[in-house]
Every structure is written in C-alpha cells, then in structure tokens.
Amino acid sequence: MNPPAAVQCGTAVRYRSEEARSRQLYQRALRVMPGGDTRHSIALSPYPIYSRSGKGCRITDVEGDERVDFLNNYTSLILGHADPEVLQAVHRRIDLGTAYTMPTEEEVALAELLVERVAYIDQVRFCNSGTEAVMLAVKAARAYTGRPKIAKFEGAYHGGYDYVQVSEGATADNWGEPAAPASVIEPSSAPSVAGDVVILPWNNLEACRNLIHQHKAQLAAVLFDVNPSGIGMIPPQADFLEGLCEAARSGGALLISDEVMSFRISNHGALDGRGISPDLTALGKIIGGGFPIGAVGGSRRLMSVFDLTASAKVHHGGTYNGNPVTMTAGLATMRQMTRAAFDRLNELGGYLRDRLLRMFHDRGIPGQVCGAGSLFIAHLTADPLVDFRSLSGFSRTNPAYSGLAHEMFANGFICSPRGLFGCLSTPMTRAELDGFVEAVERSLLALNSPAR
C-alpha cells in the first residue's frame, strides 16, 4: 500500500519549519496561557499542531496538511468531524437560540433515549463534562449512604475532581504496598482528601475484598471503569468485576461505573451482557455529539437525591446544563449510532487490534494491544500487564511516545503523544486502519534506525 497523499506533502517539514503557522500560534499562546495550552492532554514538544478544520475522519491543520484522525478529540467524536446530520440539526437549533433559563424538549428527548437504551439507568441528570458527571455520582453516593469515603483503582483516570484524582499518577516512590496502595494526592488537593479515598489494586480481587471490608462502615461507593484508560485498558480478569461488585454490595457500598469514555463500546452501556448493574453511571463524550456534555444516570431510587420536589440532598445548578445546542447534537449523534452502527465500528476495532498485534509479532517488536470496541492502546513491552504498576516505565511517562507521535504526524496520522492510544470513528474503513498500522510500523522502524 502506498503512503497516503498527506505523507507525501511534507507535513513534518511544514509543521516544524521556522515559518509554520502552528509555531507562530504557539508563541502567541505562551504569552496568554500557562504553558501555551488550556488542557494538558494536547501538550507536545516543541509545540502542538494547530487544527483548521475537520471532515469525516480527517483533520486539516493551519499549514494546510491533512491527516487521518485516530484521536477524535480524545474519543468524544464517534461520527468523526462535521457530520452532515449533526451540523444540520445544530444549525437549525442555533437559529432558534442557544441557551435559556427554561428547559427544552431536546433535553427530555436525549434523556429518554439514554434511559431506553441502558437497562441500568432509570433517570438522567445532565451537566457539562465527564469530570462533573463523576463528581455528581460521588456526591450522590455520599448523600444516599451517609458515608464519606469512596474506593477507586490505582492509576485510574476519572477526571479532575479532587477525590477521584487520588493516586492517578502514583509512582514507585510513593505508591505503597501492592495489596494496600497508598492514597497519593495531587499537590492541588487538601491533605485531608487522602483519608477519604481507598485505593484498590486492579485485578487483585483478594486485596480488593480485604480493603473494602476494612473500610465498609464508611465506604459510600466503589468507582470503576470496565476499560480503564489510565490503567492502559488492561482488561479485568475473569470474575474480577463480579467479585468486586459482590464485595462492595456486601458492605453496603454503591457501585459507580465510569462510562464517560467506555460508553462507546456499546449502545446499551459498557456493562451490557456482563450481569452487572451499577447503581450510578457517569456518561459524557459521545453523547454530546461534539459539544461539552456530562451526565449521571442511575436507578430512580438513587437519583432521588437530586429531586428538588422531594427535599434534594444534592444541590445541582449549572448555567449550561442541558443546553439545547448540546442536546440537539447529542440526539443527532446517538440516533445514528444504532446497534448495527456500533457492531460495525466494534468489528473494525477488533480488526485494528489484531492487525497491530500481528505486525508486532511479524516484525519481532515487543508489544501487546489492549482495548475494547472501537478503543485501542498498544504497549511496547512483552512484560505481563495486569495492573497500573505493571505499566510503569513504558506507558504515559515513556518519552518514546512523543517521538512516535511526530513520526505518525509525518506519515499522515494523528495519535496521542502520551501513548499509542486512540479510537475509531464511523467514516473510517479498513483502508484507513491498514494505513495506520503500516504507519506505526514505519514509525517504529524509523525510531530504531541506526541513523538515529
């Protein structure tokens, strides 16, 4: 297969040239934003690529170069960029106004769609980000149980709320014992936060049972993600989640499923078919159709803590909660994401993961591939992967991935500078997936070339 046209147009030269528009924009950004960015996930040395437009599964940067997008705004765009149906619906909605102090029909319709599709959600509360959704779920659990503590997994990412950030980036210097991980707080958090968060080790059911039992009198909820990006999407071992849920419920703790990212695994929820029904579920990303969104859903009994007509225990305002533009875009997106659409995209995800794994094997490159549905992450190691600690040294902190990202840019593809991580969108076909795998192969060979 010949390299795509974007590879042949000198993307690396333009983006890295002295006259590059991206370079100029970054210099301007440094003067008015700390570090030159407003979200750390896009940081890249010497500077990020600035985008101009997107269409389908491709992005055109300010230099005029086009690349295939395997990040999709960090998994939030399941239909790719500028989907015609979404744009048409949003344009119609914007002509009528963008925000009111009253609710609109669109928020009712999107809530109805989510409740109809997900068996373990009876009611929904909208907010504006995945971080807010997880925060609200934690607050609801505390309010319902009257208990202060939560449990979460070491290394797991659940957004920027103080309590769920605990031990997201723990290191060998501070993470404590394997069966009883330390609660490592962010410098921005109050020291008291650590005492209200129990850190669990992924895929160690015996340790999880012991820790949950030890704190059961004060434990409001156990927070988990079936496909945790912060733990490299290492899958749960057989019966691990089932055992975890049994341990939580035996102690009276609620189950919170973070599906902000993993909801794209299935139109019936990431836990569909697993025999697990969480008490609360956090959603976001794809349900907003490219606009900011978050949502918390759960049983009618649990969601009653938000009910203002029944002495609400959790106060929840929010100027842009349920704003009609986001609701419209979300509806237009999720209506297109039928079971057949999910099945097709998930089949492509399996194809990509298999192709990457075969390429590693055929080339003798130490590597393994994790992920589910249309999500994937490749780890450049042959060592066994079971938990967050097994990722240490070659995951998000590995400097090799920054070089790999630049090589992929030069080959006409966009992936994360923090790892060989990404997702698919519906405009993609096997041609884009084959091109991506071949670009990864070329990029790894270039990085390992003696000339380097």
**pLDDT tens-place string over residues 326-369:** 999 999 999 999 999 999 999 999 999 999 999 999 999 999 99
Q: What is the mean pLDDT of residues 257-263?
A: 98
* pLDDT surpasses 60 at 5: no
Sequence ranges of the domains in the chain: 5-78+339-447, 84-336
Task: Starting at the earlier edge strand, list the strands of the sheet with 413-414.
Answer: 51-55, 58-61, 66-69, 413-414
In this structure, whether the domain defined by 5-78+339-447 belongs to CATH 1.10.390.10 is answered with no
- Residue 250 CA to residue 121 CA, distance in Å, equals 22
Query: In this structure, is the dihedral angle defined by the CA atoms of residues 247, 250, 252 and 255, taken in order, positive or negative?
Result: positive
**What is the average pLDDT value for the chain, to the nearest integer?**
93
Same fold yes or no, 5-78+339-447 and 84-336: no
With a pLDDT cut of 90, the percent of the chain lying above it is 86
* pLDDT surpasses 70 at 9: no
Kindly list the distances between the CA atom of residue 212 and the CA atoms of 134, 161, 250, 302, 370, in Å, as whole numbers in the listed order: 20, 22, 9, 21, 27
Q: Torsion angle of alpha carbons 432, 435, 439, 441, nearest 10°? A: 120
Residue 324: in which H helix or E strand, if any? helix 324-336
Q: 402 with 44: CB under 8 angstroms? A: yes
Single pTM value for the model: 0.94
With a pLDDT cut of 70, the percent of the chain lying above it is 94
**pLDDT tens-place string over residues 162-193:** 999 999 999 999 999 999 999 999 999 999 99
Q: What is the mean pLDDT of residues 71-98?
A: 98
Q: Which two tokens stand for residue 233?
A: 């999407």
DSSP string covering 369-431, please?
Answer: EE--TTEEEEES--S---SSGGGTTTSTT-THHHHHHHHHHHTTEE--TTSEEEE--TT--HH
For 84-336, the fitting CATH number among 3.40.640.10, 3.30.70.1880, 3.10.105.10, 3.30.1490.270 is 3.40.640.10
Binned at pLDDT 50, 70 and 90, residue 2 comes out as: very low
Q: What is the mean pLDDT of residues 245-262?
A: 97
Place of tokens 């009994």: 301
**pLDDT tens-place string over residues 389-427:** 998 754 555 556 778 889 999 999 998 887 899 999 999
